[in-house]
A and B are shown apart, each in its own frame.
Chain A
């Protein structure tokens, strides 16, 4: 194996950019699983749904995929609110959230995927935008805009969410729910209502994440599954519910995957995330930055 600096540098840079994108994909689960303790394994399916809405906006109406995904944020927010309502009434209030809640989200994952297959078929779909194609060059390092734009959008998305969580009343209430729902109830606040808002936000993030996904790679319904492992690996490794932990863990995974596919071939890269997840769970389930 010829370990040249060019190859190494490019693998590192594209891994970092990929990691930034993975952070956007994961941030919804960081909120729902990490902070609200709702095991939304259907999250990747909603991201793919976001890819398809961006695809329609782009191919039918000619809009920019990222702008259209921002316009669609309220629709995804409402979808999240609706799903949380069903989840809350059917499982959380009955105190039966574990098995049936998991099966519920697994069913949603499957329904979304099959519905997309029935509507759009299994062809790979692409979007068209001016920043897909050209690259910036710094010496031997290439910065493809196709990866750089999602990277920037992703960090902006997470930054906005972090500001919301730190500086607004509702955002702080969400953090309170994450810490101690019982105490919140004693303060005469309703945790369900706050969780509904937070879950809505987590699904809303899937709109933007989906749009940048379809910029990075062509999308077909079943690729949702490849992201389940990545998302949960990052979320667990990032310490469940920590935004900065999510970004760091996402970048570590991005770099590892990029190295694997550069030096061993892309067919091995799905195993990286899952191997990583298994090792994290076995050795340090609290994550890199978690307590305990």
Chain B
């Protein structure tokens, strides 16, 4: 019941966001807003594994880029497929990869899982770089359709709306999980895995669920990327900045609740969009790194932690 209410509220917030973006009437608002929304999804997805269960994933870029490259493949083979369907496929593929990698490494200490995710990002990037069908290291050009069959108006606005819906879905899911049996199991793992295992919490199964969910959402967030950038190469798809941002946002916002990553993504995402336009993109990335280090040292509970006692 409360979940339903929350979803309704989230949809209202989403509609208000879209209306506000429409009112400003500048196409750039949709371009910049898309990136911020994408980070809400990524940060929320990361937090389901990283914040709730305490396993740090450095491989966001891999899951994200796998979703994006799934779209490239689908665009070349079945171009008539609508974007939401492509996103589902991308999400399933990333989720399954997450499951497989989790199965290999989640029985070890958390640090090994983290290092393995870093490793996976490079393996995936090497595979894509050597795969000519998706453009290899030259990259792939994707022609953005003029309009969508299921949405009236500009295609960029369509992408914006799709990402807006995905963020409503992922934030609602994260919140529902947090207050469910699943969520309590996750936090038991985070607080003391041995104790959780001893009290009968099926830790491996829960960790696998978290990894698959988290990876799947990241893949879905990456799926529309080729249509957004229209040119995708491995270096930009697998950019380390995705991994850094996705870790920085929940840690700055606060990892214990669903709200933290949302706050972190909106603040940091907007800040970066502004800094990229006004200063330079390298400097805005430096800002993210400094904020990340500053927050983990000085404010371990993030922004949310300032308001809760």
Tell me the A residues contacting B by CB distance below 8 Å.
Answer: 39, 41, 86, 90-91, 94, 96, 98-100, 102-104, 106-108, 110-111, 113-115, 117-118, 222, 225-226, 228-229, 232-233, 236, 267-268, 270-271, 273-275, 277-278, 281-282, 285
Contact = CB atoms under 8 A, between A and B. Distances in A.
Contacts of A98: 54, 56, 110-111
B285 interface: yes
B104 to A, nearest CB: 4
A281 B122 contact: no
Nearest to B284: A114
Contacts of B122: 225-226, 228-229, 270-271, 273-274
A278 B126 CA distance: 15
A229 B119 contact: yes
Contacts of B56: 98-99, 102-103
A103 B119 contact: no
B172 interface: no
Nearest to B51: A99
Contacts of A273: 119, 122
Contacts of B58: 41, 106
B296 A278 contact: no
Given A111-B286, A271-B127, A86 B111 contact: no
B148 interface: no
B286 A114 contact: yes
A103 B111 CA distance: 11
Given A106-B244, A110-B288, A270-B122, 18 more contacts: A39-B111, A41-B58, A86-B297, A98-B110, A99-B255, A103-B292, A106-B58, A106-B292, A107-B248, A111-B289, A118-B283, A228-B118, A232-B118, A270-B126, A271-B122, A274-B120, A278-B105, A281-B105
B13 interface: no
A104 B111 contact: no
A278 B297 contact: no
B296 A103 contact: yes
Contacts of A117: 282
In order of increasing CB-CB distance, the 9 nearest A-B pairs are A274-B119, A271-B126, A107-B293, A111-B289, A107-B292, A110-B289, A282-B104, A114-B286, A100-B296
Contacts of A222: 240
Nearest to B298: A90
A232 B130 contact: no
A115 to B, nearest CB: 7
B137 interface: yes
B99 to A, nearest CB: 14
B81 interface: no
B112 interface: yes
B290 interface: yes
Given A99-B255, A107-B289, A225 B240 contact: yes
Interface residues of B, number: 44
B218 interface: no
A228 B121 CA distance: 11
B289 A90 contact: no
B114 interface: yes
Interface in B87-131: 101, 104-105, 108, 110-112, 114-116, 118-120, 122-123, 125-127, 129-130
B116 A277 contact: yes
B293 A114 contact: no
A273 B283 CA distance: 31
A113 B288 CA distance: 13
Contacts of A267: 126, 129-130, 137
B128 to A, nearest CB: 11
B115 A232 contact: yes
28 contacts: A41-B115, A91-B296, A94-B300, A99-B54, A100-B251, A100-B296, A103-B292, A106-B58, A106-B243, A106-B247, A106-B292, A107-B244, A110-B289, A111-B289, A111-B293, A114-B286, A118-B282, A226-B122, A229-B122, A232-B119, A236-B112, A268-B130, A271-B122, A271-B127, A274-B120, A277-B115, A277-B119, A281-B105
A266 B50 CA distance: 34
A278 B293 contact: no
B251 A275 contact: no
Contacts of B244: 106-107, 110
A127 B68 CA distance: 39
A136 B28 CA distance: 60
A98 B54 CA distance: 8
Contacts of B105: 278, 281-282
A90 B297 contact: yes
Contact of A118 (B50, B130, B137, B286): B286
A115 B293 CA distance: 14
B264 to A, nearest CB: 12
A113 B248 CA distance: 16
A271 B125 CA distance: 9
B93 to A, nearest CB: 18
Contacts of B285: 110, 114
Contacts of A99: 50, 54, 56, 251, 255
Interface string B18-58: 00000000000000000000000000000000100010101
Contacts of A270: 122, 125-126
Contacts of A110: 240, 244, 285, 288-289, 292
A115 B285 CA distance: 10
Interface string B40-80: 00000000001000101010000000000000000000000
A113 B143 CA distance: 34
